[in-house]
Structure 1
């Protein structure tokens, strides 16, 4: 049986869903941690050593997570994914897509470069300048969001609302990422997650937060929505700009009714979305990977 490597350190519900979807297509899927992989650049051996794939490399790799660590460790993990792709192994999403999206500064730059609407953003090294920007925004009656350059599920994010909050303005290993807070339309706090696969918006949900942070992992509720053309097109354009196979695109509708892209996630969770939509998202992801990269004319 052909075998797939699912890159993850925490398989959980998502890993199980992927394994079931791969099995339906006649593939066995095995969980692999990048921390256990290594490069072995000898003459007779496989150049990449992957636990469970000692004799032959996987037919394809589905990336569900890249571990954190030192700069050297993270670069090495991405090196493994880059090398797999160079050896002809389909990597979904590939290392370049992950690099573009895991770095919020580069994500914001690429979205702005593509002419897509997003929140005003500053990424800089100097703390005094970061404080000056924050103070100016506060004087003009605006809030700021301070985010770690790398991170997910709302970890390390703070909203700067008053001058005393500046005491909490922290850098992400020396880099400040500041974003103007976007007030959403309607009552309370909400945004939209659009799931895009191979250039198609396949499902969407509205997340309603118990605070201004609308992450499902932080208690936000989910409700299915019909994806209007403008919203779907914006999410697709964001994923295209970052050159991803699939992604979860977070969009907020501002007080004036316009859409702004908040984040593009190349390793998105979909448990909350799956709970409110009719399609099987794992099956859609697996079908896209296998049909595009492991079809009859491919090597899988």
Structure 2
């Protein structure tokens, strides 16, 4: 009499949503293997909505008629409004179908839109430079003149942007008066410039995972833009209680599972101020100056907190679960 075969062990399958495969995705795949899982890299641009294909109406490369056990969002490619809307809709739908998404689409929407980020940080009472967002060129110039009269330069930033690209110092800059670009229409996101307190200047990047600040670095540069992509060098930094507290509060204000929070030293009663909160944060520079295993911490937080209560050996119930109603409005 033959004995029944043991049940097959379900291996955790995680989709890593990314438009670039490289160091970060390899780090995540290695960390997933250490937890007995496997990570498949997928570009959200290749994901489709197809209501004829199966009960859940989604097609993800490599998953056939099933869905992954979880999703890690590592990158979303730029595109038209329609393209980006569909990519975010796929993330919204996955979450509605019971697939844990890390970070969730709504949290990413909050962090990608600098105007919404500023509003939420302000509402939470988190120190940050005075910020304005307007579609009126006349209003933007009045702000520029008023701030200039008080001796303040402004930084004009793209509403959607990262890695320090497209930043422009305007108004009463150290090099003299710089006017806003001549545009008949458009959008102006302006933030008061925080001059460096010493030379070379620096800011801090603090990594927050699962609501807890876990590592920090200083980004040092002779230039006023301190992004690593713009040539800043990374230095190890102590994660002080002050840095950790503000970074954790900023991440919580946006509802992020993980975040890279950028802070500047400043004169006055708020010696630390938040400049940006990145919901799809890179950590290669940080990993070079800290022994803390960032990718492993991300994966551990996904499995141990985000997926808590879900059986690691469960079948794929999301393949047949009905899609619950979900709002696709931007936060």
Aligned length: 298
Name the structure, 1 or 2, with higher relative contact order (CA <8 Å, separation 6+). 2
State the match for 1:254 in structure 2. 266
Unaligned runs of 5+ in 2: 1-10, 313-331
Q: Distance in 2 between matches of 1:281 and 1:104?
A: 25
CA shift in 2, pair 1:135/1:82, >3 Å: same
Say whether the 8 Å CA contact 2:199–2:222 is kept in structure 1: no
Say whether the 8 Å CA contact 2:263–2:272 is kept in structure 1: yes
Q: Which of 266, 273, 297 is the matching residue for 2:286?
A: 273
Whether 1:232 aligns to 2:244 is yes
Q: How does 1:209-248 map to 2 (within 5 A)?
A: 209-248=221-260
State the match for 1:294 in structure 2. 307
* Structure number with higher helix proportion: 1
Q: Which of 298, 301, 313 is the matching residue for 1:285?
A: 298
Describe the SS at the equivalent of 1:279.
coil
Describe the SS at the equivalent of 2:178.
helix
Q: Distance in 2 between matches of 1:246 and 1:212?
A: 26
Q: Distance in 2 between matches of 1:43 and 1:227?
A: 49
Q: How does 1:108-187 map to 2 (within 5 A)?
A: 108-160=118-170, 161=173, 165-168=178-181, 174-187=186-199
Unaligned runs of 5+ in 1: none
CA shift in 2, pair 1:49/1:106, >3 Å: same
Say whether the 8 Å CA contact 1:184–1:191 is kept in structure 2: no
Shift of 1:39: 1.1
Shift of 1:167: 4.7
Q: Which of 206, 214, 223 is the matching residue for 2:218?
A: 206
Shift of 1:46: 3.8
TM-score, normalised relative to structure 1: 0.95
State the match for 1:71 in structure 2. 81
Shift of 1:90: 0.5
Say whether the 8 Å CA contact 2:256–2:279 is kept in structure 1: yes
Q: Distance in 2 between matches of 1:209 and 1:292?
A: 37
Describe the SS at the equivalent of 1:168.
coil
Describe the SS at the equivalent of 2:179.
helix
Q: Distance in 1 between matches of 2:53 and 2:158?
A: 42
Q: Which of 84, 105, 108 is the matching residue for 2:115?
A: 105
Q: Distance in 1 between matches of 2:105 and 2:213?
A: 22
RMSD: 1.7
State the match for 1:22 in structure 2. 32
